[in-house]
Structure 1
Amino acid sequence: MQELKVPSVGESIVEVEIGAWLKGEGERFAQDEPLVELITDKATLELPAPFSGTLKQILKKTGETARVGETIALLEEGAAEARPQAPAEAPKEASPEPLAMPAALRLMQEKGVAPEEVRGTGLGGRILKEDVERHLREREAPSRPAEPAPPSPPPPSPQAPADKPWRVDEAVPMTPLRRRIAERLLQARQTTAMLTTFNEADMSAVIALRKELGEAFQKKHGVKLGFMSFFVKAVVQALKEIPELNAEIRDNHIVYHRYYDIGVAVGGGEGLVVPVIRDADRLSFAEIEQRIADFAERARTKKLRPEELMGGTFTITNGGVYGSLNSTPLLNPPQVGILGMHAIQERPVARDGQVVVRPMMYLALSYDHRIVDGREAVTFLRRVKELVENPVRLLLEV
């Protein structure tokens, strides 16, 4: 019998929360097949099997916490005996099933729930993991024995008024990752002296360059030429000129980073995560776009590694992909700067005494006023604007 232990998932992480078990007791698994989800304050990760064998006993259930190095299950190495099959059964005719997210599908299989039993609340009726958990609570509610009231207040009652049956509240528990995100955002507001400055960039030159070179770029590198690589390049150049934005406060010292690890916010299955592009100053446009595409794909499938989410020196977030025209991005401590990109919108602007229509993007720079003054913040944002409006300068680094 071998122990399955919580591995080290990052230098600052000493405890994880057990997510969904992807295999049940007595089930066989192959080497490297995911066994369980581990939830940290950075992301949800899947723990792969160290060898082929059978899951004999689960020691830590879903929702419980475990420290790094703690045993959470017992495994038996080697192939298990096949479970006896029921006498020949007439094959059931396949019926169309609602779309379900992978985590939701695994939970349904584990609990013996058919997809058609669950009401999906995701886009297009897609079934989320939270939908399955809610269905299980509702299914078990009638048979559950009476228990003493918990110390915390119960969720709001979903009971609707008799004369207005449509006025129903639904209380859904926050996912562990969402709770961690909420805690970190609150911490950012409480522990930094955050201010935000705004500007706007004319995206005409970048759009023209992408139109001219985009097809050849994709054929050569296997990835699209997006807007983000231009902004990563512009931010790196501006950070070299304004090093106060590439720093942090550590004890009573200001630590200036002489390298450029740029965090790029991407949407994960349960929330926003910020994987880090290491040494971004040493990468080409193609390498940056490849890293971003890889991060986005692995964020959706929960394959990001903890070390990829740690240690950035500056962050870029793009609310424009969701249609935001302007916003105030929150800092990602201990970083002291974050750039917010937004949707491109055609607007009338003055050029050489004439009013013309140009594709414009609002930019927002939030910064920690404890070590970054307004002059540095405004200068930094103007420099990013200048470089994006003249992308040839990014190629020549001038």
Structure 2
Amino acid sequence: MRIKETVSLTGMKRAVAEHMVMSHQQVPSVTVFADLEMDALLTFKREMLDAAAAEAGIRLTLTPIVIKAVAVALQRFPLLNATIGEDGIQLLDEVNIGMAVALPDGNLIVPVIRNAGSMTIIEVAQESNRLAAAAVAGKVSLNDVRGGTFTVSNVGSVPGTLWQTPLVNHPQSGILALGRVREAPVVRDGQLGVGRLMGASLSFDHRVISGLPASEFMACLAELLRMPEMVHAAD
């Protein structure tokens, strides 16, 4: 077989590759899937949040709102905001959400939004925008990528992508991948209609948390997104 080109595994690409291999080998990972209803969230965003975001000088996407909802849900499911050590499972006091950012060169970096649960949605959006811009510009500091307790990845910008089975970002115990929002048939109150759904997949360390509470976390997240005023009130 003839080789057209060899891409060197150097620098960041090698570091990411080695970390992913280590995570895959050491973490017994399981993935659960869910379709998250987004109609109420999209309406709430348009009617309640977009004006505040514009006033703050930022463009608000769905990702910061979901990150805030994830932070709220993690407070109810601490085993997904934990790590495993020699002495046992360590529940972490802070909820620091790692946000996977794809770089122009194809590499991936995960800057961290610290104490996301205590921030407003607009503050989460401001920080996520700052970190994403710094990542693309190559100006992320070491402190920006340290201390994550859970990771959120969004592949919804790729047309046709519904699901992903992400690798747990060891030593964290969970990672959530978000797909694109799409129109799909839904049944509400016995009536068939069209709704907007977002595919989501949660990979988790089965040594730390089992399938039932992991699935309950996804159900909790789905409920928060169906009632986004609860997420907003948790500011």
TM-score (norm 2): 0.94
Question: Which residue of structure 2 lines up, in the alignment, with residue 328 of structure 1?
Answer: 165
| Higher RCO, Cα 8 Å, sep 6+ | 2
Residue 222 of structure 1 is matched in structure 2 by 57
1:288 partnered with 2:103: no
CA contact (8 A) 1:345 1:359 kept: yes
Q: State how far apart, in whole Å, the 2-side matches of 1:221 and 1:370 are.
A: 42
Confirm whether residue 382 of structure 1 aligns to residue 219 of structure 2.
yes
1:171 aligns with 2:6: yes
1:341 corresponding residue in structure 2: 178
Mapped to 2, the partners of 1:246 and 1:338 lie a distance apart of: 10
Q: Please state if 1:194 is matched with 2:37.
A: no
RMSD: 1.7
Unaligned runs of 5+ in 2: none
**Could you tell me whether the CA contact under 8 Å between 1:269 and 1:299 is conserved in 2?**
no
Is 1:278 the counterpart of 2:114? The answer is yes
Asked if the contact 1:214–1:224 (Cα under 8 Å) also holds between the matched residues in 2, the reply is no
Q: How many Å apart are 1:213 and its aligned residue? A: 3.6
Which residue in the other structure is 1:106 paired with?
A: none
State the partner residue of 1:307: 143
Aligned to 2:41: 206
Equivalents in 2 of 1:283, 1:157: separation in Å?
54
Contact 1:275 1:309 in 2 (8 A): yes
The aligned residue for residue 67 of structure 2 is: 232
Can you give the 5+ residue segments of structure 1 that lack an aligned partner in the other structure?
1-155, 159-168
Q: Which amino acid aligns with 1:320?
A: G
Distance in 2 between the 1:215 and 1:307 partners? Answer: 30
Residue equivalent to 1:3: none
Partners of 1:344 and 1:299 in 2: CA distance: 25
Q: What's the CA shift for 1:377?
A: 0.2
Over 3 Å counting, the alpha-carbon distance change for 1:259 and 1:336 in structure 2 is same
> Residue by residue, what CA displacement relative to the aligned partner does 1:280-334 show, whole Å, maximum 9, x if unpaired?
1221111110111111111111000011111111111101122321111111000
Q: Residue 337 of structure 1 contacts residue 367 of structure 1 at CA under 8 Å; is this kept in 2? A: yes
Q: 1:1-398 residue pairs with structure 2 within 5 A?
A: 157=2, 169-270=4-105, 271-323=107-159, 324-397=161-234
> Amino acid of the residue matched to residue 198 of structure 2?
M
Q: Secondary structure at the match of 2:98?
A: strand
Q: Which residue identity is paired with 2:109?
A: V
Runs of 4+ in 1 over 3 A off after TM superposition: none
Q: Is the 8 A contact 1:217 1:225 kept in 2?
A: no
